[in-house]
Amino acid sequence: MRDATPGVVNLDLSLPVWDEFFTIAPLILVGSRDPVGTANIAPKHMGLQMGWENYYGFVCSPNHRTQQNIIRHGSFTVSFTRPNQIIVTNLAASPRWDDDTKPGLQAIPTRPATTVDGVLVENCYLWLECELERTIDGLGPNSLVLGKIVAASAATELIESLALEAKEQGVQYLLHLWKEAGALQALREDLAADFEGEDPLLPEPSHEAEETRRRLLAAADTLGVRKRLVDHDEDYVRLYQTEVNESFKHLGLVEPYQ
């Protein structure tokens, strides 16, 4: 192996690479049905939307009751935790007692799932109810549990943010998109002038960019935030200039763009 590039460290693969740095992960609570009929809940951090259709998967140890339950019972639930739900998560992770129960689970507020036989954890922000599609073994000792989503529900706020109702979350998102669109537009015009009307870098045709800005303006009208839209946010433009210059350097164009 060559020496690493400056500023880059080669990682040691005799260890799991995941132990060598911090990263973020979603924290979900998976609900399953114990053999004796009680609800089981366990935290998992390796969950993923599996494609653009209604599939969800998570990585699980085959030694965990969760996976055994799901294979036997054929279904599971997923509750997506909020940052303050550390106690509930802690309770769900508690070890089993000698009689094979997890008494801490009784303190977790739940409601019945609507479509599969199972429970959902209250106060979360998103819930999926899944039928087991299959388990995929061979991730070292671990498996991927793949589910088909057969019902889903969400906290009202989560949906409202998508509907771009006049909520601060929607407004912030719009302002962010607007600044990005403005900075890209400024770069595009600038570069096109330098390159005799041809845009040398950005692949998206300029009528698409125009259309994006038109739709953002319409959304801003709906939200009543037009007067907060600023066309050239210098910080954003500078950020993108830096990135363009990286590309220029890479292409052997020595003159920095500014």
Ligand X SMILES: Cc1cc2nc3c(=O)[nH]c(=O)nc-3n(C[C@H](O)[C@H](O)[C@H](O)COP(=O)(O)O)c2cc1C
User: Which chain residues interact with ligand X by CB under 6 A?
Assistant: 27, 40, 42-46, 59-61, 64-66, 93
Q: Which is nearer to ligand X, 56 or 223 (CB)?
A: 56
Shortest Cβ 48–a copy of itself spacing (Å): 4
Q: Which is nearer to ligand X, 34 or 129 (CB)?
A: 34
Sign of CA dihedral 219, 223, 224, 225: negative
Cα–Cα distances in Å, from 66 out to 21, 32, 117, 136? Answer: 27, 6, 15, 15
Q: Cα–Cα distance between 206 and 212 in angstroms, integer?
A: 10
What is the 8-class DSSP label of residue 74?
Answer: S
C-alpha count within 13 angstroms, C-beta hemisphere, residue 226 = 9
| Binding-site partner at residue 218 among ligand X, a copy of itself, none, CB < 5 to 8 Å by type | none
The pair of structure tokens assigned to 47 is 């969950």
Sign of CA dihedral 33, 39, 44, 47: positive
Q: Cα–Cα distance between 113 and 51 in angstroms, integer?
A: 24
Question: Across the strands, what pairs with 41?
Answer: 31
**Amino acid symbol at 107:** A
C-alpha count within 13 angstroms, C-beta hemisphere, residue 49 = 7
Q: Which is nearer to ligand X, 59 or 152 (CB)?
A: 59
Q: Which is nearer to a copy of itself, 68 or 153 (CB)?
A: 153
Q: Which is nearer to ligand X, 79 or 223 (CB)?
A: 79
| Binding-site partner at residue 17 among ligand X, a copy of itself, none, CB < 5 to 8 Å by type | a copy of itself
Shortest Cβ 201–ligand X spacing (Å): 16
| Binding-site partner at residue 204 among ligand X, a copy of itself, none, CB < 5 to 8 Å by type | a copy of itself
Q: Which is nearer to a copy of itself, 33 or 58 (CB)?
A: 58
* Short-list 120, 90, 117, CA closest to 104: 90
| Binding-site partner at residue 167 among ligand X, a copy of itself, none, CB < 5 to 8 Å by type | none
Question: Across the strands, what pairs with 132?
Answer: 147
| Binding-site partner at residue 1 among a copy of itself, ligand X, none, CB < 5 to 8 Å by type | a copy of itself
| Binding-site partner at residue 40 among a copy of itself, ligand X, none, CB < 5 to 8 Å by type | ligand X
Contacts of 16 (CB under 8 A, 6+ apart): none
